[in-house]
Amino acid sequence: MIIHFKSKPKRFVFSILFFIFLLAAGVKGYPQGNVDLAQLDSYIEAARKDWKIPGMAAAIVKDGQVVLAKGYGLKEFSKPGKVDEKTLFAIASNTKAFTAATLAILVEEEKIKWNHRVREYLPYFKLYDPYVTEEMRVRDLLCHRCGLGTFSGDLLWYETPYSTVEVIKRAQYLKPSSSFRSGYGYSNIMFMAAGEIIPAVTGKPWKDFVIERIFKPLGMETTNVGTSELKKYQNVATPHYVYSDGKTVTISYTTSDQISAAGGINSNVSDMARWLIMLLNDGTHENKQILSETSIEEMWTPHTVIPLSGSSKELFPSTHFRSYGLGWVLLDYHGRKIIYHSGGLDGMISRVAMVPEIKLGLVVLTNSMNDLPKALMYRIIDTYLGVTPKDWSRIYLDRYRESAEKEKQRAAEITKKKKKTRYPVKLEDYTGLYGGPMYGDARVSLENKKLVLRFLPAPVFISDLSHLHYDTFQLKLRNTLSFIPHGIGTVQFIRDKDGNVVEMKVDIPNRDFWFDELEFKMKE
């Protein structure tokens, strides 16, 4: 700022006072004290209705204070019971930041080191590549660079009875999609392994440790871990799926106990605001150090590059990099560093974000499958950065509807593939027990003259099979699953040279689960 001394000193004094006022209000064009919260509140509610989300909650923290903490809509569609700031939601993968924080505490106490080998603490840890097995370090567990593809192996824990340790052991059969530390592949199983380091070192389960060292010191009174814990509370949101035609169905909570460290926390926006304030206050809460500044800096330092997609570059021209730290995603946006993470379990989507330089934090929790939390993150950040805010809700809603329509068309295409080809001579040829060492067994049985497929580890996948073409059958799930909303797929049976069925391959189009990883060889 250049100040010219001219003939009127009063004008100079006024200029100085005005400049001081601008500094107090928010320097460099960032109107930190001039945000219209009522307008934001109205935008959030209007967006919820546009998305047909039954219920949600949002909180904003600024300069160490909660400036908004509110519920919107209903805990369960068409039933009384409004969401408020204390309503519990599954925060899913927003749990990962808490897991990184628990390991950071052990690093601070010199009980572990970021670069120690994982097998020093978990001797049973084993991956497909022996080199990766031996070379995997604690830090590697938290930044998605082990070589597995995004969501690889998630069927191992989804609605199965396998314990956390059993899931980790079975991961040795998963084939990598890239070499070690060369690419980004989002892995829930590696965070499950990270959580198991806590009991290996302290003798306490990860669940007890995070409650003792983070929840209780921060006063996160109702935040808990695992689906089983929700039974103790009344103020709980119900998961939903909303179809493109507006039809809304309730979804059962995913059993999240064995994936506690990867996605098992249930919380509300009031408690999550405390978590954000502590992080933005260099790890302190009420003059008590919960995490060191060094630990927070480590978690918020890029470790793995996440390539920017073409659509991201188009939508966000001010974003030049995206990466993963330890339990957090990092990017630049309008010249500021953004720290965020999202979470998704059946019927629950959430997002947590911070702009440390202006001490801004936000959390959005919803009880349906949608992209609104992402849209609201950008809307709120735009508002506080003083840039012209876009209608991000409309932008993402249009994209979401387009994606949902494509999923619907993919399911419809499978049903149209039925051709006038020979019908199998005997349906009994396909019945039997199929399986492999990674996932376990599945049984195909003949019931009421029709084939039924059951995944024995996960009964939720029970499906009816109807003939499509030669040895290929259409699969239709009996249960509504929000990650596979249309529940349509195929099963291809493989015969050997003698014409005997020896294997089946399952394909259920979706964005989260890799059914093609499952090996189902005929066993009996």
Which burial class, exposed, middle or buried, applies to 364 when counting CB atoms under 10 A from its CB (0-12, 13-18, 19+)?
buried
Domains of the chain, residue spans: 1-29, 31-91+204-408, 427-522
427-522, CATH topology level: Lipocalin (2.40.128)
Question: Where are the extended beta strands (E) located within 47-200?
Answer: 55-62, 65-73, 89-90
Residues 393 and 48 sit within 8 Å (Cβ to Cβ): no
Place of tokens 């695992």: 226
The per-residue pLDDT for 6 is 33
- Amino acid making up residue 322: R
Q: Establish whether domains 31-91+204-408 and 427-522 are of one fold.
A: no
Residues 146 and 132 sit within 8 Å (Cβ to Cβ): yes
Distance CA 349, CA 284 (A): 28
Q: What pTM value is reported for the model?
A: 0.91
The per-residue pLDDT for 411 is 73
Vertex 331 angle, CA 328 and 332, to 5°: 145
The per-residue pLDDT for 471 is 93
Q: Where are the alpha helices (DSSP H) in 316-443?
A: 372-385, 392-415
Residues 202 and 209 sit within 8 Å (Cβ to Cβ): yes
CATH H-level, domain 31-91+204-408: superfamily:
DD-peptidase/beta-lactamase superfamily (3.40.710.10)
The per-residue pLDDT for 408 is 75
pLDDT in 10s for each residue of the chain, 524 residues: 333 323 334 333 333 333 333 333 333 333 445 899 999 999 999 999 999 999 999 999 999 999 999 999 999 999 999 999 999 999 999 999 999 999 999 999 999 999 999 999 999 999 999 999 999 999 999 999 999 999 999 999 999 999 999 999 999 999 999 999 999 999 999 999 999 999 999 999 999 999 999 999 999 999 999 998 998 999 999 999 998 888 999 998 888 789 999 999 999 999 999 999 999 999 999 999 999 999 999 999 999 999 999 999 999 999 999 999 999 999 999 999 999 999 999 999 999 999 999 999 999 999 999 999 999 999 999 999 999 989 999 999 999 888 877 777 777 777 766 555 666 668 999 999 999 999 999 999 999 999 999 999 999 999 999 999 889 999 999 998 888 988 999 999 999 999 999 999 999 999 899 999 999 999 98
The per-residue pLDDT for 417 is 60
Other beta carbons less than 10 A from residue 57's beta carbon: 28
